[in-house]
């Protein structure tokens, strides 16, 4: 570690995209469905009847699946089956061969099969046919019983359907032939399941350049929180990637500016100096990995590093145009030295290269020039609170902070893989490293792997990366100096 004037050491390692829950749980990508052969002219009636009888799952509209399919378009296994059952329209032993039929899909949540059979019995090909002249009237008057037993069963089939839309036209084609006719919509296809590959790849390339530096700084912020006994050794750094990717001159000053360029704010955990905490270290200093959460000894999620950095940015934006010197008392807990330094450090590398001509010591009597007082864009510059910003973290954030990241609309979040926590909200699967370190023991709760960064249920999705440090390859759980050891606490 260096002193305040020195360079921040880069971590050694590389980033990898975190997979989404939909990518890591392929077993939930398919479901069973019923297929019912009905008279073609009853399709509209059957559609209405099914909709009014069986509730739909609004989270699974299955808009990529065809609701009614003609025999010629059925997947192979169903064609073979109806041939064996003798219900094919081309089959000679089908007494109803002259009745045009169509196949209806009954999607999950699946009704009781006996109930479905009773409901749709009047519409299968062998049921008594209404007179072509007055369909509804004749149907009411008919006394003939709809088919039952084996003569009914042969019109009910099952198939497997893909729960999620296909990711490509080729996949749609494959599913149409093997499962059920499936439509492909390029615009909708992958977005709810995982980041579109071109976007993910471009972001990964962009983030990979400086992730090691920003995470090095996050570790330093974490150490500060720990050393000053403000909180656990957890740190975050918020970066504006548009500024971070600008390149500047080669002088020492310019190099330092370049290294720090784009850093919007940093924050450490502050749960032990939260408002109202009387004896913070009483229970926590001795056992830093203690599992229990005691509200008398530590603040809640609002004192976690993520929530604090988001609040700093919110306060800055609210106080647009006010001199930085008047902001200090708005922060509770007060800012740490590193936090103040990065929040109020002149962002001289921000908008254009001509700014390099300005005097290096900016005067505090010029509060209207926001780039000299804060790195945070004013509200007038548009965007939501953290739109297009990236966040780098020493640990995997808790559920509350994970949601905070999404609600603030960050572009991407990157955390140290060795900072994975059982209480985390972002990972979607175990890693060999994480499992080695956290051998499940009796009484220890399992990680639920929420993968919150990209969930189709949520209205904002962020890309997520893990930084895998080189030492991880040997299975060694080295923790950066000052960073909190992984445990059952929340970060």
SS3 track for 419-441: HCCCCECCCCCCCHHHHHHCCCC
d(CA 472, CA 56) in angstroms, rounded, equals 46
CB of 314 to Zn ion, least distance (A): 16
Stretch of 104-112, 164-172, 260-268, 301-309 lying at the interface with Zn ion (CB under 5 A): 301-309
The span of 77-85, 192-200, 300-308, 457-465 binding Zn ion (CB under 5 A) equals 300-308
Q: Where are the beta strands (DSSP E) in 367-428?
A: 390-393, 412-416
Interface positions, 214-253, toward Zn ion (CB under 5 A): none
Q: How far is the CB of 311 from Zn ion (least distance, A)?
A: 13
Contact segment (CB under 5 A) with Zn ion among 213-221, 342-350, 378-386, 394-402 equals 394-402
Report the nearest approach of Zn ion to the CB of residue 269 (Å): 9
Buried-exposed string 226-257: b where 16+ CB fall within 10 A, e elsewhere: beeebbbbbbbbbbbbebbeeebeeeeebeeb
Q: Minimum CB separation from Zn ion for residue 290, in Å? A: 17
Which range of residues in 134-142, 225-233, 237-245, 395-403 is near Zn ion by CB under 5 A? 395-403
Nearer to Zn ion, 223 or 304 (CB): 304
Contacts with Zn ion by CB under 5 A: the residue count is 4
Of 446, 322, 472, 428, residue with least CA distance to 20: 428
User: Of 383, 360, 453, nearest to 415 (Cα)?
Assistant: 453
What binding mask, one character per residue, do residues 249-288 give for Zn ion by CB under 5 A, x or -? ----------------------------------------
In angstroms, give the least distance from the CB of 424 to Zn ion. 9
**Residue number with CB closer to Zn ion (75 or 419):** 419
CB of 395 to Zn ion, least distance (A): 9
Q: Pick one of 241, 301, 367, 430: the residue that binds Zn ion (CB under 5 A).
A: 301
Identify which of residues 189 and 218 has a Cβ nearer to Zn ion in the complex. Answer: 218
**Contact letters (x/-) for Zn ion, 117-156, by CB under 5 A?**
----------------------------------------
* DSSP per position, 441-472: -TTPPPP----GGG-TTSS---EEEEEEEGGG
Residue 115: count of CB within 10 angstroms of its CB: 11
Alpha carbon dihedral 185, 188, 189, 191, in 10-degree steps, equals: 170
Q: Which region among 143-151, 262-270, 296-304, 368-376 touches Zn ion (by CB under 5 A)? A: 296-304
- Is residue 303 within 8 A of residue 269, CB to CB? The reply is yes
Looking at the Cβ atoms of 157 and 401, the one nearer to Zn ion is: 401
* 1 within 8 A of 220, measured Cβ to Cβ: yes
**How near is the Cβ of 390 to Zn ion at its closest, in Å?**
18
Q: x-or-dash pattern for Zn ion, window 401-440, by CB under 5 A? A: x---------------------------------------
- Residue of 347, 473, 359 lying closest to 418 (CA atoms): 473
**Residues in 42-101 that interact with Zn ion by CB under 5 A:** none
**In the complex, minimum distance from the CB of residue 392 to Zn ion, in angstroms, rounded to a whole number:** 15
Cβ-based nearer residue to Zn ion, 146 or 301: 301
To which H or E segment does residue 157 belong?
A: strand 156-162
* CB-count exposure of residue 409 (10 Å: 0-12, 13-18, 19+): middle
Scanning 67-75, 258-266, 327-335, 392-400 for contacts with Zn ion by CB under 5 A, the matching segment is 392-400
Which range binds Zn ion by CB under 5 A, 25-33, 213-221, 294-302, 409-417?
294-302
Question: How many CB atoms are located within 10 Å of the residue 129 CB?
Answer: 16
Secondary-structure breakdown of the chain: helix, strand, coil percentages, each rounded to the nearest 5 = 35, 10, 50
Residue 398 binds Zn ion, judged by CB under 5 A = yes
Tell the smallest beta-carbon distance from residue 320 to Zn ion (Å).
27
Nearer to Zn ion among residue 36 and residue 310 (C-beta): 310
Round to whole Å and give the CA distance between 180 and 33: 10
Nearest-angstrom CA–CA distance, 467 and 17: 9
332-391 residues near Zn ion, rule: CB under 5 A: none
Closer of 69 and 274 to Zn ion (Cβ): 274
Cβ closest to Zn ion, residue 259 vs residue 339: 339
Structure tokens given for 359? 């005097």
What backbone torsions phi and psi does residue 371 show, to the nearest 5 degrees? -65, -15
Rounded Cα distance, 169 and 157, in Å: 26
Question: Distance of alpha carbon 416 from its chain centroid, rounded?
Answer: 17
Residue (270 or 376) nearer to Zn ion, CB: 270
- Residues forming contacts to Zn ion in the complex (CB under 5 A) are 301, 304, 398, 401
């Amino acid at each position: 570690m260096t002193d305040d004037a020195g360079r921040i050491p880069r971590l050694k390692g590389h980033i990898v995209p975190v997979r989404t829950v939909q990518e890591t749980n392929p077993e939930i990508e398919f479901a069973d469905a019923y297929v019912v052969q009905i008279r073609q002219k009853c399709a509209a009636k059957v559609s209405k009847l099914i909709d009014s009888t069986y509730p739909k799952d609004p989270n699974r509209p299955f808009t990529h699946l065809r609701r009614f399919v003609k025999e010629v378009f059925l997947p192979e296994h169903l064609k073979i089956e109806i041939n064996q059952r003798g219900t094919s329209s081309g089959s000679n032993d089908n007494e109803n061969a002259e009745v045009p039929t169509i196949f209806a899909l009954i999607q999950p949540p699946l009704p009781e099969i006996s109930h479905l059979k009773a409901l749709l019995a009047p519409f299968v090909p062998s049921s008594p046919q209404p007179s072509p002249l007055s369909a509804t009237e004749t149907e009411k008057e008919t006394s003939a019983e709809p088919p039952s037993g084996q003569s009914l069963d042969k019109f009910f089939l099952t198939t497997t359907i893909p729960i999620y839309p296909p990711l490509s036209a080729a996949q749609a084609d494959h599913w149409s032939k093997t499962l059920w006719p499936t439509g492909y919509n390029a615009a909708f296809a992958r977005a709810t399941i995982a980041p579109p590959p071109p976007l993910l790849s471009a972001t990964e390339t962009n983030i990979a350049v400086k992730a090691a530096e920003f995470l090095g700084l996050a570790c330093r912020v974490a150490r500060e929180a720990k050393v000053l006994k403000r909180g656990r050794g957890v740190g975050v750094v918020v970066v504006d990637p548009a500024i971070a990717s600008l390149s500047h001159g080669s002088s020492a000053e310019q190099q330092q500016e370049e290294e720090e360029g784009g850093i919007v704010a940093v924050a450490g955990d502050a749960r032990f100096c939260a408002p109202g905490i009387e004896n913070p270290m009483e229970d926590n200093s001795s056992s830093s990995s203690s599992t229990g959460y005691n509200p008398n000894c530590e603040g809640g999620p609002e004192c976690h590093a993520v929530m604090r950095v988001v609040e700093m940015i919110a306060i800055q934006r609210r106080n647009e145009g006010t001199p930085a010197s008047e902001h200090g008392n708005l922060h509770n807990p007060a800012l740490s030295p590193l936090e103040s330094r990065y929040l109020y450090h002149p962002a001289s590398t921000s908008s254009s290269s001509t700014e390099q001509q300005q005097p290096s010591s900016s005067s505090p009597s010029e509060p209207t020039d926001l780039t000299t007082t804060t790195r945070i864009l004013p509200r007038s510059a548009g965007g939501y609170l953290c739109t297009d910003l990236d966040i780098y973290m020493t640990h995997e954030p808790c559920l509350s902070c994970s949601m905070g990241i999404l609600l603030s609309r960050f572009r991407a979040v990157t955390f140290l893989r060795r900072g994975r926590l059982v209480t985390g909200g972002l990972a979607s699967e175990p890693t060999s490293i994480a499992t080695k370190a956290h051998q499940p023991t009796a009484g220890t709760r399992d990680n639920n792997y929420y993968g919150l960064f990209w969930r189709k249920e949520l209205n904002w999705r962020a890309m997520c990366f893990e930084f895998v440090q080189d030492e991880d390859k040997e299975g060694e759980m080295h923790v950066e100096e000052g960073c909190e050891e992984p445990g059952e606490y929340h970060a």
